[in-house]
Amino acid sequence: MWQVSDADLEAIAIGAGILGTGGGGNPYVGQLRAKQAIKKWGPVTVLAPEELPEDAQVVCVGGIGAPTVGVEKIRDVQSYHALRAIESYTGKKATALISNEIGGSNSVEPMIPAAMAGLPVVDADGMGRAFPEFQMKTFFVYGVPCCPMALADEKGNTVIIPQAVSPKWAERLARAVTVQMGCVACYAVTPMTTEQVQTTAVLHTLSLARDLGNAVNNARRRKEDVLEAIFKTCPGKTLFSGKIVDLERRTTSGFARGTVSLTGLGDYNGQELAIDFQNENLVARRNGQIVCTVPDLICVVDTDTGEPVTTELLRYGLRVTVLGLPSPHQWTSPQGLAVVGPQAFGYDVGYTPLAL
């Protein structure tokens, strides 16, 4: 159990920015919002999953939409309204909140309604990284129902999906609503039990994001190698280092989709890397050969500072290093890969685990 400090939020912004693999919403904006919420409504406590009381009602809240829009149209307290809507619909009061994904601003999204409602946040999430679609959560893969779920926008509209024939259908309906809501909305899912959280979530990821951010900050302060510091906390490998030379990005159907192209520098001189993304980085090709795919993490960071570069911040000329981190084990099972493997994103390739 720990109480969230401003320093924690700053560290989480870095860590969740890296773990978000490009998505999850702008981490800097998320951090500012969480700080402001805690200042305005009171402190937020993080509970380890093992510390949850047996009869907890854990509501997952998150943002949905395109990060390219989210960085211009800042979320307010929509996740609080979504929380209240799902409580009212189910007749169950939440006793704790949990992140949908430990990526970008969504890593700290629950802290805003948590501060407002005086609830703790669980040190865990539904992805162990970020993914673009609603159904892509370990909760749903391992048996937690995805409905009812509630959506809320900043205008005062709410929508509830009481029943969807599959988690993918819930995504389809929720996405269409999100686009109408202005491509940025928040949602809350029907409460989970303590057992459901403990057995289906990716555990201790808020601490991981914080530790990762602290490692980067410490390395910066000590003028040590930031990439080494990242790998010490999250074992992984460098896939590429270079300069962004092309970017094709479009905001379509509620997602930021596109491809970023890099030309190599240093060890990678004369080489090329291209990354396809749908909010999150999906597939990295070095010199035309796939070197990393979902569900493994493809993380773009500033070469000098280790600062994560999310999808909406990609731009020509940035000098970045691309890291590969292995996927949480929950995603590499057959049922996990069916939902987030390369084929789930339309790629006609199987998943080859990243070799470290």
Question: For binding to its own copies (CB under 8 A), which residues are involved?
Answer: 85, 88-89, 155-165, 169, 172-173, 176-177, 179-181
Residues β-bridged to residue 274: 261, 285
Q: Which residue has the tokens 């209240």?
A: 84
d(CA 48, CA 207): 9
Tell me the three state secondary structure of residue 286: strand
Considering the complex, what minimum distance in angstroms separates the CB of residue 187 from its own copies? 13
d(CA 316, CA 224): 27
Of 175 and 204, CB closest to its own copies: 175
Considering the complex, what minimum distance in angstroms separates the CB of residue 12 from its own copies? 32
Of 164 and 260, CB closest to its own copies: 164
Measured from the Cβ of residue 108, the count of other Cβ atoms closer than 10 Å reads: 32
Dihedral sign for Cα 263, 348, 257, 22, please.
negative
Considering the complex, what minimum distance in angstroms separates the CB of residue 327 from its own copies? 30
CB 115 within 8 Å of CB 38: yes
Residue 79 DSSP class: H
CA 69 vs. chain centroid, Å, equals 16
Tell me if the bond preceding 148 is cis, omega within 30° of 0. yes
Considering the complex, what minimum distance in angstroms separates the CB of residue 284 from its own copies? 31
Tell me the three state secondary structure of residue 152: strand
Of 171 and 296, CB closest to its own copies: 171
d(CA 327, CA 336): 11
d(CA 151, CA 174): 7
Of 42 and 162, CB closest to its own copies: 162
Of 156 and 270, CB closest to its own copies: 156
Give the DSSP letter string of 99-120.
ES-SSGGGGTTTHHHHHHHT--
Of 81 and 129, CB closest to its own copies: 81
Query: Which strands make up the sheet holding 237-252, listed edge to edge?
Result: 289-293, 280-286, 272-278, 255-264, 237-252, 319-325, 297-302
Considering the complex, what minimum distance in angstroms separates the CB of residue 10 from its own copies? 36
Of 124 and 164, CB closest to its own copies: 164
Tell me the three state secondary structure of residue 117: helix
Considering the complex, what minimum distance in angstroms separates the CB of residue 81 from its own copies? 9
Of 156 and 346, CB closest to its own copies: 156
Of 93 and 220, CB closest to its own copies: 93
Considering the complex, what minimum distance in angstroms separates the CB of residue 59 from its own copies? 17
Considering the complex, what minimum distance in angstroms separates the CB of residue 82 from its own copies? 11
Angle between helix axes 6-19 and 205-221 (nearest 10 degrees) is 100
Considering the complex, what minimum distance in angstroms separates the CB of residue 341 from its own copies? 24
Residues β-bridged to residue 142: none
On the CB side of 179, CA atoms within 13 Å amount to 11
